[in-house]
Amino acid sequence: MTIKTRFAPSPTGHLHVGNIRTALHNWMFAKKEGGTFLLRLDDTDAERSKEEYVDAIRADLAWLGLAADEEQRQSARFDRYAEHLAKLKADSRVYPAYETAQELDLKRKIQLGRGKPPIYDRAALDLTAEQVSAYEAEGRKPHWRFKLDHGTPITWTDLIRGDQNFDPALLSDPVILREDGSWLYMLPSAIDDIEMGITHVVRGEDHVANTAVQIQMFHALGAQAPEFAHEALLVGTEGKLSKRLGSLGVSSFREKNIEPQAIVALLARIGTSDPVEPVADVEQLIATFDFARFGRAPARFDDEELAQLNQKIVHLLDYEDVKDRLPEAMTAEAWAVIRPNLHDMGDVDQWWQVVTGPISAPEFSAEDRGFLAIARGKMEVLEASSDLWKELTGALKEETGRKGRPLFMPLRLALTGLDHGPDMNILLPLIGRDTALARLTEAS
């Protein structure tokens, strides 16, 4: 069997971190198994679906490195849904219902008030021809419901949650087609999974009841259901579902200079028994991907953990990975020097300015200015070399008797304007002898 997964967002808004995690796990599983990853745009809602969101979804997945092998759109398949609906009508697996939204809401409230589950009572199945005619005379149009088989328990073995068992009598017959002729999610999704050859569906545990319903739809359509993996939902650091996570997307990550590799490394592992590690090579993450390692407890998303992971990822990035994002004159040698001091890529320009200038050195005491004047004199007679810092500090130590912090700190402040940073032994050759001499002259 060739593995095929799908990510099926509705282009009615931007992707958020939960969507991204679902896309990632579908993509990783397909890649590990040598299969196919499908991007299916569930754009049946013509009023809310927008091309700008379609473009944004594609761009977000591309930035994360989650390239789709195929792409499909539900809006191009309405004829297929209509054909299958006609067959289900002929098989008496769907039926028309005429209740208004207000009437259905009142029914639910009455059931809840009586301590009963708010499931549809199937009143539409008992309508007489006269009642139907009366509704139609009022101008009502029916919505269509899928008729669950109450005589057959719904069971499947979930790849994460294990054996699942649902009593269909405790589920509502789902609406599949609105009175205005627009499709709801459930049936088109099942039809697409069949006709597009989807073998595995990876999604959040909030879809478990939907899966129970859809399994009967697969059977009613004469098809075998795919395998399902329902993963625990993301929660925030406060330990509960967070509305903020619903708005946290790629644009937010990019604004904070978070690398796509860091997002992938975090979302690939949280909620599993594998440790979250700074892995920049996604192939290493794919190699360890296993549904058996996914836990049932909510997966905790921590901004601070992401920031720390991001910093470690940046420290692993090769020059070739980032050269298009660096200042034009910045070389691979300079990147190797500056990289260990970066919190994120937003710090690059600051550190490059330390090399190229201008810098703002602090005011020095008279004693330190005298020391720096001696340093300027020593620099004047030194040749540019990779040992420039060693030669300079050696000469100063011998002449002034200074050592440790009193020796190194005034030099660092005069040469970089900062009291911290890369090893001066490797930074000073980047700054250059002539620039260093000019900075020492100004500081003294």
Q: Is 205 exposed, middle or buried (0-12, 13-18, 19+ CB in 10 A)?
A: middle
Q: C-alpha distances in angstroms, 305 versus 246, 284, 311? A: 18, 20, 10
93 residue type, one letter: R
- CA pair distance 26, 35, nearest whole angstrom: 10
Give the distance between the most distant pair of CA atoms in the chain: 111
What are the tokens at 438?
A: 């000019």
Supply the Cα-derived Rg of the chain in whole angstroms.
32
Paired with 228 in beta bridges are 201
User: Between the CA atoms of 76, 81, 83 and 87, what dihedral angle is there, to the nearest 10 degrees?
Assistant: 170
- Asked whether residue 390 is marked as a ligand-binding residue, the answer is no
Question: Which residues neighbour 39 within 8 Å (Cβ) at sequence distance 6 or greater?
Answer: 6, 7, 57, 58, 61, 68, 70, 71, 72
What are the tokens at 184?
A: 């709801």
- CA pair distance 164, 155, nearest whole angstrom: 5
339 residue type, one letter: R
Q: What are all long-range contacts of 258-262, with beta carbons under 8 Å and residues at least 24 apart? A: 258/306, 258/307, 258/310, 258/344, 259/310, 259/313, 259/314, 259/317, 259/344, 259/345, 260/63, 260/64, 260/65, 261/313, 261/317, 262/306, 262/309, 262/310, 262/313
**Phi and psi torsions of 228, nearest 5°:** -120, 145
| Spatial contact of 145 and 173, defined as CB atoms under 8 Å apart | yes
What are the tokens at 118?
A: 């708010």
DSSP structure string for 184-201? PSHHHHHHHHHHTT--EE
Q: Which of 180, 189, 183, 194 is nearest to 226 (CA)?
A: 194
H or E, element range at 27: helix 17-32
- CA pair distance 239, 274, nearest whole angstrom: 20
Can you say which residues are annotated as belonging to the binding site for ATP?
A: 243
Can you say which residues are annotated as belonging to the binding site?
A: 243
